[in-house]
Structures are given as structure tokens and as C-alpha cells.
Structure 1
Amino acid sequence: MSTYNPVIFKMELQGIDYSNLSLFGPDARVAPRLMGWNVPVEELIHIPSHWLSFPEVDPMMHYSLGLLYCFFCVAALVGNGLVIWIFSTTIARPFHGRVTRGRAVVMLVFVWAYTLPWAVMPALEIWGRFVPEGYLTSCSFDYLTKTPENQFFVVTIFIFSYILPMSLIIYFYSQIVSHVVNHEKALREQAKKMNVESLRSNQQQNQVSAEIRIAKAAISICFLFVASWTPYAVMALIGAFGNQALLTPGASMIPALTCKFVACLDPYVYAISHPRYRVELQKRLPWLNIDETQPQSETTSAITTNVSTDSTGTPD
């Protein structure tokens, strides 16, 4: 009479053939060593069996990834810290007159309500689960277990975390670009009829140039989102529905690293392209040698404010 083993039972539920469990023990996985050879048998259920069939990775790869993760962490902390510092102390209330406090709160609640389930449900194994991937040095949602429930989870997160954001990005930015192009075309035609070079003054030209740079920064960040998450989305679909033999540990680590890299690159793209941010950064950290001219509209506003203050001052 066979005894009940909860580890084997859970492996069978996941469709993993561990009939000869001794093959996955540390002693049997020494020559040549396979990935996960030193993982206790009772913990193997947390690793997709796909990765356990590959040879052990050179330890130098783990050390290199560790250094790379440290670099990503420092770069993200510095970049995002500078953005938070500049905007929280200088560029306050950027949506004043456009977004009310109540609407801003509703937007924040919606964003958190939209994103939290995709982190909480796998963490608690309510739907899906988090497992090691690639070199077993990082975790992601399980896209390798080919059960109907898990495949449905992969499809759902693909739609809500990739297709919908991508569709919204394409729609709204195509509307912005279309509006700008049509507006510029109308101005050129009107200037041609009036036999003048341009209908804008120098101040308006500077303002439009700044707006274009800000739009380019936003579009660049959106492009980085597409470029970084598309390979990962394709990899997840291959793992859930395609030929898993295409997913080697090394190949799977490339999309994972690009996603982490973009997360720390976004604030630097913003710093390069946003004129007002660059002006404030130049004031705070002059040793960075940022050559950015303050927008004329802000300079004129500051001069007007100073003149008004002086004219209303009381004589000595």
C-alpha cells in the first residue's frame, strides 16, 4: 500500500511526471549537474520542470546578474528620486485648473485597483502563481505550466496588462499627433494666404518647441514600453501555448532584463527631453553642465511679477 505524499500529489496535479523522484535528488543530479540540482526535493514543486532539464549555469553568470541588478536598482533610485525631488519641490500642482483633487483621487484608486489583482492573486496562488524563471535568479508569473486554468490566466494578464494599455497608447497618441499635424497644416495654409512666413511670434514659437519636446518625451517612454514588454509577452505566449523548447534559460533572461532596464531608464529619457525639468535640474545641480534656456514665457512672467512687487512696495 503506497503512502500519500503531498509533494508528489501536487506535482501530478500540475502535469509533471515525477514518478521516479530519486532522479531529481541532489545525489543523482551531480554529473552532469542540471539546474536546481541542489534544491530540496520538497521545494521542486515551486520550479517549472522545463528549467530542470537544462545544465547548471556557470556561477559567473549569477554573479554578473547580481551586479547588473544592483546597477538597475541604483539607477532607478537615482533617476526616479531626482524626478520626485524636482517636481515635488518646484513644479507643484501641474494639473491645477485641469484636474480636481477628487478626480485625481479617483484616478489613483482606479490605477491601484486595476494593477493590484495581478500581483496579489499569483502571490497568494488564488489564480496563477509566481515561479523562478530563466537562471532561477528572478521570479515571474508561471507561463510554463500547461493546465487550462494557468493558460487562461496567461491570456487574461496578456489582455489586461499588454493589449489594453497598448491599444490606449496607440489611440490617444495617434489623436494627439493627428491634431498637431492638422493644426500646423492649417497655420501654414493661412500664412500662405496672408503672404507671411509664419503667424506665430517668437514667444509662441518657443512655447510650441517646448510642447513638442515634451510630447516627444512621452512618445519615447511609450515606445520603450512597447519595445521592452513585447518580447516578454511573446515569450509568455510561447511558454503557455507554443513550443517550449524555444525557451532556453539564456533566451528567457533577455526579455526579463529589458523590462527591468526600461523601468530605470524612463526618468533619464524624461530628463533629456523635458525642458522645464532640465531648467530646474540645471539650477539645483549646476555641475551637470546642462545647457538649457528657460522658456521665454516663464522669464517674462517672472519679470512681470518682480516689477509688480516693486511698484506696490512702500517707500522707505
Structure 2
Amino acid sequence: MNVSYAMSTLLGVSGPKSLLAPDDDAFLGSKIDDAYMAYIHPHWTTFRAPAAYQHFLLGLIYALIFVVGMLGNMLVIVTFFTTKSLRTPSNTFVVNLAIFDALMMSKLPLFVLNSAVEGQIFGKIGCDIFGLVGSYSGMGAAITNAAIAFDRYRTIAFPLDGRLGMKAAIGLVVFTWLWATPFSILPLFEVWNRYAPEGYLTTCSFDYMREGKSTQLFVMTIFSWAYVCPLLMIAMFYSRIITHVRNHEKMLKEQAKRMNVKSLSQGDNDKSAEIRIAKVAISIVFLFICAWTPYALVALIGCFGDKHMMTPTFSMFPAIACKTVACVDPWIYAINHPRFRAEIQKKVPWLCIFGQEKKADDSKSVTSGATEVKSETA
């Protein structure tokens, strides 16, 4: 008995009440108002409350993510709206992603406050706001990634007549917000599911712990809507881009053979473009998987699996993963783009993250599908 208690105290995580000290204040939920306890699944209250240093460490991690993520996303947003030459259809999707990610960052100060009080500082209202913002930003960012993949596919595969216009781009941006609306609003008004505390009870998400067929159906629906569908679209469009570039290279080689010349392509330039596409595609799919697979697994385990696996500490890692990716997104999508990087360097020259950009020689660009790859995937 004493060994179990000592180990649980050292790890600061699990252990049912019967195996731990009989001090009720040592368990999760002890600092939550009684009126709010109905929204907390009894599973969480069987675990020992995290030590103060664990709340402090998580709060510190989230504070760092907030600073870096908000800086990157706001640089992208401000640069886009203050630089006319950057306001293109393709960049509209990038700034929309930055807005969703900035929305994700905006709820982190609330988490830091929750960590300070070891609960929900604003109670049910604060939990609902936290869950609503997280739902909109998460699902919105997922489908925006798919929209970016679609835009790049159209631009690269159909460079002459496939580019999206500004009206079409704005229409797709509106669609991304509509896509995120149903499963953000339904839990808010408790029409289907609800927002509830999870893990250390300092974060809130849709309630995947409640028993019943309704919860299982909701989890499977949102799993398909917010994870499977965007991932399939992202993988499909980027695989088509890579296939298009390879077919283009094959066509050039066959044509050069018929014309009895060595090559019609730019050689290293075309190979570089293909490699660049592959790297961007792999990076984007990898980031999406890293961001949302942990949350998807936690929700599925909480709903269908063994709930004993769902310790408070374990359930906090998915939230860190998706917020870290929202912090990294602007550096991958926009700040890595030469034109964005150059404009940001002009606006904030004291920010010594970026080196001096070499101006591209437009006269050397190849007027082909592979050429469009280099400009659109930079």
C-alpha cells in the first residue's frame, strides 16, 4: 500500500482513491465547483491531482508555444494584408491557415490561467469558449491544408487555365469556415455531445469519455469529418502533383529522344523542382499526422477502448502536439516562401531570423508545369 502511494506520488499521475492517501484534496476535481462537476467524467476524479510543478511546466510550454506561434502567424497575417503584391489567390489560403492557427494560439493564455488555479478559472463558460475555439481552429486548419493542396495541384497540373481566381479562392475560404461550423456549434449548445474538461481538467474538448451510442456515433463522425477526409484529400492532391511532375519529365525525355537531342529540360533545375515538391508534400502530410493522430487516438480510446489507459498526463500530450504544429505552420507555409520572407525582412529588419534573399532570375525559368512548381511550392 505504501509502495503504491509512494510511486504514484513520485510519478504524479495515476492511482485509484482506494490505493492512495485518503486526502480528498489530493485528487483531480477537488478544486472544481460542485455545480460544474457534472461535466467532468468520473474517470478523471479517480486520479491523483498533478503536482504543482507539472501545471507550471505545462503552463511554461504553452506560454512558449504562444509567443513563437502568435509571432509567426501574426507576421504572416500582417504582411499579407499590408503588401498588395502578396494578395494572390494562393496566398489567401496561406493567410487563412495563419488565421486559424492564430485562433488556436489565442486560447493558450486561458490555459495558463487554468494551470495557475489548477482548474477552470471561468467555469463552464470558459470551458465552452476553450472548446469552441479549439474546434474551429483545428477543423478549419485541417480543411485549409486540403484547400492549399488542391490549389497547388490546379496551379501545377493546369498552369494555363487551372489557376483559381480570387473569387474562387475566397469562396473556398468561406467553405473552410462552414466546414468547421457544424461540429463546433453542436457541442456548444449540447445538441449533440458537449464540451467537457479533460486530462488535468485545465483544457476542454468534446466529450469523448461519456458512455453511450450517441457519443460513439459522434466520435466516429467527427473522426471522419475532421481527420480522415482532410488527410485523404491532402495525400491525394500532393500525390497527383508528384505524379504530374514525373509524367512531365517522362514526356520531355521521350520528345527529346524523337528529336534526337540530349534533353529538352533544364536538367538540374527540373530535378530540383521535383525534389522540392516531394519534400513539401511529405512535410505537410507529416505535420498533419503529427498534429491530429494523437488526438484521434485519444478520442477513440476514450470512447471505444480501455479507459484505464487514459491517464491525465497521457491525455495532455495530444493537445501539445496540435498546438505545436499550429505554431510551426507559418514557418513552413509562408515564412519559408521567398516573397513572404523578403517582405517580413523589410518590415521587421531587427528580426534576424531571415537571411538576405537572392533575387530569382526570371529569364531562367522554364515555361512548363515543373516551372510552376518552383514558384508555388517555395
Say whether the fold is shared (TM-score over 0.5): yes
8 Å contact kept, 1:48–1:145: yes
Question: What code does the residue aligned with 1:137 have?
Answer: T
CA contact (8 A) 2:90 2:169 kept: no
1:92 maps to amino acid: R
Partners of 1:270 and 1:189 in 2: CA distance: 35
Which residue is equivalent to 1:240? 303
Secondary structure at 1:259's aligned position in 2? helix
Residues 1:288 and 2:353 are matched in the alignment: yes
| Structure 1 residue aligned with 2:30 | 37
1:129 counterpart residue number: 194
Separation (CA, whole Å) in 1 of partners of 2:39 and 2:318: 22
Determine what percentage of the aligned residue pairs are the same residue.
45
Distance 1:146 1:250 in 2: 21
CA contact (8 A) 1:214 1:274 kept: no
Deviates more, 1:100-109 or 1:59-68: 100-109
Structure 2 runs not aligned, ≥5 long = 1-16, 92-160, 366-378
What residue number does 1:63 align with? Answer: 56
Equivalent positions of 1:206-285 (< 5 A) are: 209=272, 213=276, 216-217=279-280, 219-271=282-334, 273-285=336-348
Q: How does 1:184-203 map to 2 (within 5 A)?
A: 184-191=249-256, 196-201=261-266
Counterpart-to-counterpart distance in 1, 2:364 and 2:75: 24
Give distance in 2, aligned partners of 1:180 and 1:277: 25
Residue type at the aligned position of 1:77: M
Q: Distance in 1 between matches of 2:189 and 2:62?
A: 25
Matched residue, 2:244? 179
CA contact (8 A) 2:238 2:281 kept: no
Tell me if the contact between 1:191 and 1:199 (Cα under 8 Å) persists in the aligned partners: yes
d(CA) in 1 for partners of 2:43 and 2:363? 59
SS of the residue corresponding to residue 288 of structure 1 reads: coil
- Report how many residues are paired: 272
Query: TM-score, normalized by length of structure 2?
Result: 0.64
- How much has 1:103 moved relative to structure 2? 2.6
Equivalence for 2:215:
150
2:71 aligns with one of 75, 78, 96:
78
Q: What is the Cα-based RMSD across aligned positions, in Å? A: 3.0
- The 1-side partners of 2:217 and 2:262 are apart by 59
**Structure 1 segments unaligned to the other structure (5+ residues):** 1-23, 301-316
Displacement of 1:265 in angstroms is: 0.7
Partner of 2:148: none
Aligned residues of 1:276 and 1:294 also touching (Cα < 8 A): no
**Is the contact made by 1:122 and 1:141 (CA closer than 8 Å) also made in structure 2?**
yes
Q: Which amino acid aligns with 2:182?
A: P
- Partner SS state of residue 237, structure 1: helix
State the alpha-carbon separation in 1 of the partners of residues 63 and 229 from structure 2: 32
- Deviation at residue 263 of structure 1 after TM alignment: 0.7
Answer with 1 or 2: which has the greater Rg. Answer: 1
Q: Describe the shift of the 1:169–1:95 C-alpha distance in structure 2 as closer, same or farther (beyond 3 A).
A: closer
| Counterpart in the other structure of 2:87 | 92
